[in-house]
Amino acid sequence: MIVTAVSLSAVPLAAVPLTSTGSTVLDGSLLIAVPIAIAAGFVSFLSPCVLPLVPGYLGYVTGLTGVDLEEQRRGRMVAGASLFVLGFTVVYVVLGWTFGTLGAWLQEYQDQLMRVLGVLTIGLGLLFAGWLPRWMPGVDGTRTLAVRPAAGLAGAPLLGAVFGLGWTACTGPTLAAILALAGLGGDAARGALLATAYCLGLGIPFVLTALAYRKALGAFAVARRHRLAIARAGGLMLVAVGLLLVTGIWADLLTRIQGSIAGFETAI
């Protein structure tokens, strides 16, 4: 099949005909947005109010004590971490799907929407970096859960869902920026895909920590020492995305990428 080049500055993203899985994956909006979504998820994991609590989460979702964690009962830890990640992934994918659907209804106003969401993304970046007054992503890590599912593997997915719904002080700015990109895509499936990419960036480190618990603790110590730099780097990434949206450069990039893949043949 041949993917035809379309000027995205003139045609809404949702109006570009996509007739196969291959063409959907190759669409310019995803080639840019998916890596950003993965990076945003990883930045959320490194945020000062998530990273210090990862050992606690692992202990809770596996039902293991500190001694058991140190002894690396790896199979149970990986299972617990995976179920925890599954819980918040379901929540975030539903959100991505919803925002993609809303974006499809607003495609008539895509130009204005892009600039408004760009301003919002810039604000979220400044918020995450701690450059807006009275906010810094939970440096003391003292937040508590309003809902406490049963400890152990059975409660791990529910704890993950609670994390997805309640930990917005840390994941909120980065997740909201990705949901903004999902809305601009104008397609529910693309919104779900971007949310999945975000969850990969946020969730894979949880699973890797379970696989190599002792080594991960050393890496956590390094990350905690540089928590402000990490928060500011993540904030700057969001500000950069926002500026691309506000100035219209984002749409120009999509047009160029769409043109560069014109004529690409996929086996699907």
- pLDDT tier, 263 (very low <50, low <70, confident <90, very high otherwise): low
Output b/e per residue, 221-235; b: 16+ Cβ within 10 A. eebeeebeebbbebb
Categorize the per-residue pLDDT at 85 as very low, low, confident or very high, splitting at 50, 70 and 90: very high
Looking at the predicted structure, is the pLDDT value of residue 70 above 70?
Answer: no
**Mean pLDDT, the chain, integer:** 75
Per the domain annotation, does 266 fall within a domain?
no
Whether 217 is in a domain gets the answer yes
Domain-located, residue 4 = no
pLDDT band (50, 70, 90) for residue 195: very high
Contact 57, 46 (CB under 8 A): no
Average pLDDT over residues 73-90: 88
Q: Confirm whether 157 is domain-assigned.
A: yes
pLDDT of residue 127 exceeding 70, the answer is: yes
Cβ partners under 8 Å of residue 95, min gap 6: 175, 179, 195
Pick from 86, 203, 80: nearest CA to 151: 80
Within a domain: 10: no
Task: Answer yes or no: is 84 within a domain.
Answer: yes
The answer as to whether 20 is a domain residue is: no
Q: Is there a domain that residue 174 lies in? A: yes
Choose between 138 and 229: higher pLDDT: 229
Give the pLDDT band (50/70/90) at residue 11. very low
- What local confidence, expressed as pLDDT, does residue 193 receive? 93
Number of domains composing the chain: 1
Average pLDDT over residues 118-139: 75
105 has pLDDT over 80: yes
pLDDT at 60: 77
Looking at residue 65, its pLDDT comes to 54
Q: What average pLDDT does range 226-236 have in this prediction?
A: 85
Predicted pLDDT of residue 225: 80
Q: Is residue 22 predicted with pLDDT exceeding 80?
A: no
pLDDT at 100 over 80: yes
Residue 31 · residue 256 · CB < 8 Å: no
Q: Which domain holds residue 223?
A: 32-136+147-260
For the stretch 28-68, pLDDT in tens is 467 788 999 999 999 889 887 788 778 878 877 776 555 55
pLDDT value at residue 150: 59
Q: Name 265's bridge partners.
A: 2
Phi/psi of residue 246, each to 5°?
-65, -40
